[in-house]
Structure 1
Amino acid sequence: MPHIRVNVLKPLALEVDGEEKALTPLTIRLLIRLVAAGGEPVPVVRLRRDVWDIPPGYRHDSVRDRNEVQKRVCELRKVIDPGRQGEGERILRTERIPTARGNESAYRLVLTPEQLDSAEFAGLVNEALRAAPVAAVRLLERALGMYQGQPMSEAAGEEYAAVPIRRLTRLRDTARQELVRIHLELGAYRRALPLLEDLAAEQPEDAAIAELLATVRARLRRGLSGVIVHRGLPSLHTAVSVVVGDLFEQDGANLVVGFSDTFDVATDRDVVISRESVQGQLVARVFGGDARTLDRELKRALRTVEPLSVESVHDKRVGKRVRYPIGTVAVVPAEGRRVFATAYSELGNDLVARATEDGLRLSLDRLWAAAARHGLDKPLAMPLVGSGLARIVEAEREDLILLIARSYVRAGRAHRPRVAPELRIVLRAGDLERTDLAALEAYLSQVGE
């Protein structure tokens, strides 16, 4: 059977097996009239009046009406089913329906949602309204991508098309408003902005949309900050949050800082450790620029850990030469809280740090165990480990944040009473727009329920 597709969310097109077919103007009007009927039969007299634009007072000739309509029906059936396998008659059916004038001939267009873009569009939007955020975003973006102009534009102004056009337009507005709501809930303000601008331009009288647009623009101008995602996990007696802000200003929280396997801290001339890195900021902001004090505390924390190897001066001329196993965690006290220095990357002798997903998973497992033992039941604040200079190249930011959350939840089920009262993943304002939080929100919703 041929694959049929009728598109009315853009200039009307009939596709058969992926190829758009040419139709005469009258046949196009007939097709769109039958689509507008929503699967209901349309009497021949009504088709003749609407498609041929015959005035109400016209005296109909039943034989001529039937012949004119039948010509166009035959043309349409031939295009739909050139091999005459019966698909044309199945999709465009001939029926007899009772009317005030007795039984009359009528035609009904029967299309599945896969065969009619407006039906598929409505199904996607309705499914999105019941879906979790990550699925809803995909469904809504797919639906809105189908909408490429005024629906049924060839029948604009026609009485028979007014109701379906109005219904599709309202459904599109609903889809855009729901997508805006989800983007704002997930902190994706830049993704919400163009949708809001379109809505405001099309509905200038809507004060609520105008106010929301102004709020989003103001938020973007002054920079994003604060809690973007927060989900309590009662069964684990903890919560997971995503915060836009400064890692070192997370009051009352222990800090997680990713290190290489050598636990280098020297920031002189940015040769070994960049002053802009999280480790460099730890030296400057927590230890007042005194790298020696941090180094001393790290050595004290690592004194019971068996080194993995020791590099020679010839092979590694700069920086520390003692290597510790990936996953090693050094617990360092600082300003009334604790810093969990976790080795998740390997610093090569070329001074380039390299990390893998397996190494990150192992370091996270060890991190949660150390936090449960030494964290004093304080919140745990950490950056998006694996996205910085020691980047895990095969993982996108959304993959990393989901990996961290899943690892934390697994640990929460294993450690009692809990790892920490809250895991706080801290993003910089510039990183938020590059991090899709929809998958994280969906996962946390599932765990929370």
Structure 2
Amino acid sequence: MSQDQPGPASAAGTAEAPAQRTTLPPTAAQTSPENPWPLRLLSEKLKAHIDRVPPTWVEGQVIELNRRNSVTYLTLRDTEAEASFGLVAWSAVMARLEAPLTPGSRVVAQIKPDLYIKTGRLSMQTRDIRPVGLGDLLARLERLRQALAAEGLFADERKKRLPMLPHRIGLITGRDSDAMKDVIRNASLRWPAVAFEVREVAVQGVSAVAQVMQALAELDAMAEVDVIVIARGGGSLEDLLPFSSEELIRAVAAARTPVVSAIGHEADRPLLDDVADLRASTPTDAAKRIVPDVNEELERIARARAMLARSVETMIRHEGERLAAVRSRPVLANPQGMVHARAEDLQRLAARAYGCISTAVDRDRDRIAHLRAQVRALSPQNTLDRGYAVVQLPDGAVLRDAQDAPAGTRLRVRVAVGEVAADVVP
């Protein structure tokens, strides 16, 4: 092929050769097919960016450990989620440990990310690593317990009462676990009609918290579930740590359905026991406390019925005795005597009332006759009947002074019967 003829790459319109580029884009966002970065530049920039990340303390569980000469390679997994990192620890770091690490150990480590420019491989350089002892876990749980208690999540007034007889019980437990069998068997023995809505989940490990929370949300959304039981058998403190997760505690506190905690044995005390509406010492104890015993309830009903029958019989007997006592009283033995006595009282009172009225009428009649005689004695007509006369002036006024009637005055003279006219003469 001649040098003057373009090759296949040039004919296809590919990017220019690196020797033909004069300037590189300052940022990754400005790169293009025509003006890309060299790979080494990306590696250098990533290296510079990662170097600015400060050392970080992290916590996890060692699931793999491989020692090679002076270097130890570890795989650290999160204790509550599916996340893991590979760590590199030099012999000087591992030598500071009092006891060698083993897979399954819970540790805290100070790590610093580092990028190897030549291969672009990211590694986590371990600067310090410390095992988490039982005392550290207990102290951490106690601090979390106090913080949640200060928020009021453990207060008695927020706890919900369990129904007396739940029709359907939600059960969150391990897959084919003894705890599930204990709860179902003992609850069914106590109340054969009880029904369960079971959710089998992981009860330890990194996925336990997420699965328990998902099962809790499903059962809490079901209107037919009256109470939810979270049950697990005994185990070590590390095995029971998922039931002290802050996320799970807050989910239980927010649930609308009453929640019963039945984790481990009497001595085990995860934080779930404090936030639950009822704490059962064991799964068997939970079954006994969420449903009544049918035999005990039947005995109570029988005792109540017997007590009610005795009460009714006693009341009937007492009322019969009272009725007999009332019937033996004279007023009921001879009821006519009471009627006759009241009739005599009525006649006596009627006679007294008639006498009082007659006396008052006679007295008022005499007083009226006396007043009539007085009125008649003072009557002007009575005076005229005795021969007197009344002289009146023309205007009708009574003449009392002769000077009021000069000569020629026309007068009217009233006598006992009729009147006459008279003129005054000089």
TM range (shorter): under 0.3
When normalised by structure 1's length, the TM-score is: 0.20
**In terms of Rg, which structure is larger?**
2
When normalised by structure 2's length, the TM-score is: 0.21
